[in-house]
């Protein structure tokens, strides 16, 4: 089991640690619901160092990434980041990633669980091209500061200005000789930044963010993977292994917007065929009662199995049971009633628009 | 993490307080912490007969659902009704007010396979 450069920080903070995609990660510190509310109301710090960080450089890096990604890459300017999917020839989603364009190279942030399969896939497609692929996951750390206070606080704490940074843009800075990148992005439905810096500087940086705000009315507090999952679910954001999988394509996953219209990429033809005749789409549900349906729970309509739940939580913000799942397009309209089967009972649910929560 | 010395423990993180043939069962603080904030506990009806290794219910947290297991065969004598309105008791006082079921054991021999407090603490520290 791998440890992030912030492992010592988590232990000192009294985190409950869990195994996640081969990494020991904090699931909670104070408590999931408390951390969730704190992120929605103030600002939290998440260790996301388990995610893959891989650099692409060389004259053909742009062309390779253009071919690997469903969204356009060549049109990006230095300082810009873009959320995208990477697919197989048959349209199956290999991963969802964020591609950032630096002056002389690209940085791809991928899911921890997919890094091992992506590295050889990328190398295979780089054969014969002028591209160097360097895995920086272990030599760097990544934290996310998220919440309505995040930008103001980080603008004071960081030596560079970030409050004028546009969403999905980043800036490089330097602290005590340590180069870092600050991107205005996140996975919580809140405003905030994600920062990548050298692994050796991680603990110092995390302690600094916590200690320098400790005396304030609303200090930055650490939050775990548990709150990260409930926050992203409320925000209707897909998670690889739940809403996204190699077994289906971006259209079926309800993410048609990530498929660039006027570009070529691996999987394009297969995805166009699905687009012409989609069999399923992703919808949100509000569920009656106290019980929460989880991934894999069958969705029924008129006694027939019509789909499956991908994620379900008790929403701390809405104080309701919410879920996402796949249904045929004909059942995707808001207000449509369905039933969701658990082991020994069935729950009534209604389709609601995504996201469940918008800041 | 300190656990009650007077209980036995399963690898699936349930605790068993044995008083004669009466066995009280719940889950440990370790398990409750891993589950995060508990939102719902599904418990069996009084009178339900269970074999050792049977699931006696399900526990839901904000983020996940897990099965609950008994390591002892017996008949359900009582369930903790307070959990219906206060499932958070499992987080707050897992080995006290957060208890789940009491059963009248029909065969105590399966308890031999369980861990004592010291062994369980070692098990969860790994």
Q: Is the backbone of residue A347 left (phi > 0), alpha (psi -120 to 50) or beta?
A: beta
A73 contacts chain B (CB < 8 A): no
A84 contacts chain B (CB < 8 A): no
Contact B42 A291 (CB under 8 A): yes
Element (H, E) at A100: strand A93-101
Q: Does domain A52-135 have CATH number 3.30.70.1400?
A: yes
The string of pLDDT tens digits covering residues A225-243 is: 999 999 999 999 999 999 9
Which residue of A13, A19, A33, A316 to mutate against B (max B Cβ within 10 Å)? A33
And the tokens for A237?
């954001």
How would you class A260 by CB atoms within 10 Å of its CB: exposed for 0-12, middle for 13-18, buried for 19 or more? middle
Q: What class does CATH assign to A2-49+138-233?
A: alpha beta
List the single range of A96-100, A175-179, A202-206 with lowest mean pLDDT.
Answer: A175-179
The pLDDT value given to residue B1 = 60
ipTM of this model?
0.88
Domain ranges of chain B: 8-109
Q: How far is A72 from chain B (nearest CA, A)?
A: 35
B8-109 has which CATH code? 2.40.50.100
Residues of chain A with CATH 3.30.1360.120: 2-49+138-233
Q: How confident is the model at residue B2 (pLDDT cuts 50, 70, 90)?
A: confident
Q: Nearest residue on chain A to B62, judged by CA atoms?
A: A314
Of B56, B7, B12, nearest to B34 by C-alpha is B12
Q: How far is B47 from chain A (nearest CA, A)?
A: 18
The pTM assigned to this predicted structure is 0.95
Query: What does the pLDDT average to over A48-52?
Result: 98
Q: Which one of A226, A291, A343 has the shortest CB-CB distance to B63?
A: A226
Residue percentage of chain A with pLDDT more than 90: 96
Give the HSE-up count for residue A65: Cα atoms under 13 Å, Cβ half-sphere: 32
CA angle A222, A235, A91 (to 5 degrees): 110
Q: How confident is the model at residue A173 (pLDDT cuts 50, 70, 90)?
A: confident
Residues of chain A with CATH 3.30.70.1400: 52-135
The pLDDT value given to residue A129 = 98
Residues of chain A with CATH 2.40.30.110: 279-359
Give the HSE-up count for residue B67: Cα atoms under 13 Å, Cβ half-sphere: 11
Range 44-83 of B in CB contact (< 8 A) with A: 58, 60-65
A279-359 has which CATH code? 2.40.30.110
Q: How far is B81 from chain A (nearest CA, A)?
A: 15
H-state helical runs in A20-149: 32-41, 61-68, 115-126
The string of pLDDT tens digits covering residues A282-332 is: 999 999 999 999 999 999 999 999 999 999 999 999 999 999 999 999 999
Q: How confident is the model at residue A178 (pLDDT cuts 50, 70, 90)?
A: confident
Q: How confident is the model at residue A79 (pLDDT cuts 50, 70, 90)?
A: very high
Contact between B27 and B12 under an 8 Å Cβ cutoff? The reply is no
Query: What does the pLDDT average to over A47-51?
Result: 98
- State the Cα–Cα distance between residues A209 and A60, nearest whole angstrom: 38
Q: Nearest residue on chain A to B84, judged by CA atoms?
A: A290
């Amino acid at each position: 089991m791998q440890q992030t450069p912030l492992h010592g920080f988590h232990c000192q903070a009294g985190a409950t640690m869990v195994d996640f995609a081969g990494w020991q990660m904090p699931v909670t510190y104070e408590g999931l619901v408390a951390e969730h509310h704190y992120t929605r109301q103030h600002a939290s710090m998440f260790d996301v160092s388990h995610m893959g960080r891989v650099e692409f450089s060389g004259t053909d890096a742009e062309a390779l990434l253009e071919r690997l990604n469903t969204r356009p890459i060549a049109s990006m300017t230095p300082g810009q980041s873009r959320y995208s999917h990477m697919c197989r020839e048959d349209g199956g989603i290999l991963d969802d990633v964020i591609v950032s364009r630096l002056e002389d190279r690209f940085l791809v942030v991928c899911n921890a669980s997919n890094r091992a399969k992506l590295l050889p896939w990328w190398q295979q497609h780089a054969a014969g091209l002028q591209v160097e692929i360097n895995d920086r996951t272990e030599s760097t750390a990544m934290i996310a500061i998220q919440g309505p206070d995040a930008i103001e606080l980080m603008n004071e704490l960081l030596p560079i200005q970030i409050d004028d940074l546009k969403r999905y843009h980043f800036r490089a800075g330097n602290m005590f000789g340590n180069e870092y990148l600050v991107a205005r992005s996140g996975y919580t439905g809140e405003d905030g930044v994600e920062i990548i810096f050298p692994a050796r500087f991680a603990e110092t940086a995390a302690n600094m963010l916590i200690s320098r705000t400790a005396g304030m009315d609303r200090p930055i507090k650490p939050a775990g993977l548990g709150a990260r999952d409930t926050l992203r679910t409320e925000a209707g954001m897909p998670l690889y292994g739940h809403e996204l999988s190699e077994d289906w394509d971006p259209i079926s996953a309800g993410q048609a917007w990530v498929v660039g219209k006027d570009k070529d990429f691996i999987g394009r033809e297969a995805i166009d065929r699905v687009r012409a005749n989609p069999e399923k789409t992703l919808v949100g549900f509000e569920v009656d009662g106290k019980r929460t349906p989880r991934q894999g729970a069958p969705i029924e309509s008129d006694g027939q199995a019509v789909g499956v739940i991908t994620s379900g939580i008790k929403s701390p913000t809405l104080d309701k049971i919410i879920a996402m799942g796949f249904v045929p397009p004909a059942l995707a309209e808001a207000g449509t009633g369905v039933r969701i089967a658990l082991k020994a009972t069935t729950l009534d649910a209604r389709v609601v628009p995504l996201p469940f929560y918008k800041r | 993490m300190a656990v009650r010395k007077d209980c036995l423990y399963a690898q699936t993180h349930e605790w068993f307080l044995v008083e004669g043939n009466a066995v009280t069962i719940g889950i440990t603080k370790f398990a409750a912490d891993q589950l995060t904030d508990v939102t719902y506990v599904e418990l069996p009806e009084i009178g339900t007969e269970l074999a050792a290794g049977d699931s006696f219910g399900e526990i839901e947290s904000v983020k996940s659902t897990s099965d609950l297991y008994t390591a002892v065969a017996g008949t359900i004598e009582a369930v903790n009704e307070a959990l219906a309105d206060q499932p958070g008791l499992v987080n707050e006082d897992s080995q006290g007010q957060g208890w789940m079921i009491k059963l009248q054991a029909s065969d105590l021999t399966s308890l031999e396979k369980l861990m004592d407090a010291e062994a369980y603490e070692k098990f969860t520290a790994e």
